Amino acid sequence: GAGVSQTPSNKVTEKGKYVELRCDPISGHTALYWYRQSLGQGPEFLIYFQGTGAADDSGLPNDRFFAVRPEGSVSTLKIQRTERGDSAVYLCASSGRGQGSYNEQFFGPGTRLTVL
Amino acid sequence: GQQVMQIPQYQHVQEGEDFTTYCNSSTTLSNIQWYKQRPGGHPVFLIQLVKSGEVKKQKRLTFQFGEAKKNSSLHITATQTTDVGTYFCAGVMWENRDDKIIFGKGTRLHILP
């Protein structure tokens, strides 16, 4: 079956611009996660959705970052007034089984964001 | 804040040799997960350990969870070129009345033919 998809695969933008990154989770998965991965680092947690609501947004670095999941499926990560330090690969993952907040996660291919 | 430390950062082994990566948490974990990321790829789930002292095997891979649920290891027997990649542990811990997940920085495995 289809896995997690993310669009675009690459995004180049200028400092100060607004960007939106999209994630399509595996059908039926209720949990959706956003991570940010810099070169040589592990994924850094940003936000976790259970259904339509953000169950934990404590990883968002500041108020320039915002994410939505209005219908409990597709999610969009929005970054305002981008800065060069925002450059990274943004990974989305979804999960659909097991107890607790974090279980087997299926990752998408990521969006590589470059802020010039 | 809470940390999940992973060592070594890099490991070069001859094909056929064994490989081990270690993960240590500053706090007790609810569970620990292991992921593999191939060069240019995305993390792929390998396993989740939940119980104190748990040991799980997947073919040549052996995963252990410490008795105190603060450390874990992944051991690969007789490495093959297909084992190349970065191995991440991800610790799930209870903090501020909620679960949190923290990934280690990973161990990058290089196989010398």
pLDDT band at residue A2 using 50, 70 and 90 as cut-offs:
confident
Residue B68 vs residues A37, B24, B53: alpha-carbon distances, Å = 29, 11, 8
Which has more confidence, A72 or A109?
A109
Could you tell me if B39 and B84 are in contact, meaning their C-beta atoms sit under 8 angstroms apart?
yes
Q: What is the pLDDT of residue B108?
A: 97
Q: Report pLDDT for B53.
A: 97
Give the HSE-up count for residue A10: Cα atoms under 13 Å, Cβ half-sphere: 1
pLDDT tens per residue, range B45-67 = 999 999 999 999 999 999 999 99
The percent of residues in chain A predicted with pLDDT above 70, rounded, is 95
Task: Give me the mean pLDDT over the A47-72 stretch.
Answer: 93
Residue B70's φ and ψ, nearest 5 degrees, are -120, -10
| Average pLDDT over chain A, rounded to an integer | 93
Please report which confidence band the pLDDT of residue B100 belongs to, taking 50, 70 and 90 as the band edges. confident
Residues of B in contact with A10 (CB under 8 A): none
Contacts of A105 in chain B (CB under 8 A): 33, 43, 45
CATH number for the domain formed by residue range(s) B4-112:
2.60.40.10
Does pLDDT of A84 surpass 90?
Answer: yes
Contact A42 B103 (CB under 8 A): yes
pLDDT at A32: 94
Task: Give the separation between CA A68 and CA A52, rounded to whole angstroms.
Answer: 8
Residue B94 confidence class, pLDDT cut points 50, 70, 90? confident
Q: In the prediction, which pLDDT does A1 show?
A: 57
pLDDT > 70: percent of chain B: 98
Residue ranges per structural domain of chain B:
4-112
By the CB < 8 Å criterion, does A108 face chain B?
A: yes
Q: What is the per-residue pLDDT for A87?
A: 98
Taking CB atoms and an 8 Å limit, are B43 and A91 in contact across chains? yes
- What end-to-end distance do the CA atoms of chain B give, in Å? 41
Q: How far apart are CA A77 and CA A20, in angstroms?
A: 6
Q: Taking 80 as the threshold, does the pLDDT of residue B13 lie above it?
A: yes
Output the average pLDDT for chain B.
94
Q: Which site among B7, B101, B105, B108 would you substitute to test the A interface, given the most A Cβ atoms closer than 10 Å to its Cβ?
A: B101
Q: What is the mean predicted confidence (pLDDT) over B19-35?
A: 96
Is the per-residue pLDDT at B95 higher than 90?
no
Mean pLDDT of B38-49: 95
Considering only the beta carbons, identify the residue of A58, A106, A108 that sits closest to B45: A106
Residue among A44, A55, A104 minimizing CB distance to B48: A104
Domains of chain A: 5-96 (2.60.40.10)
Give A32 or A96, the one with higher predicted confidence: A32
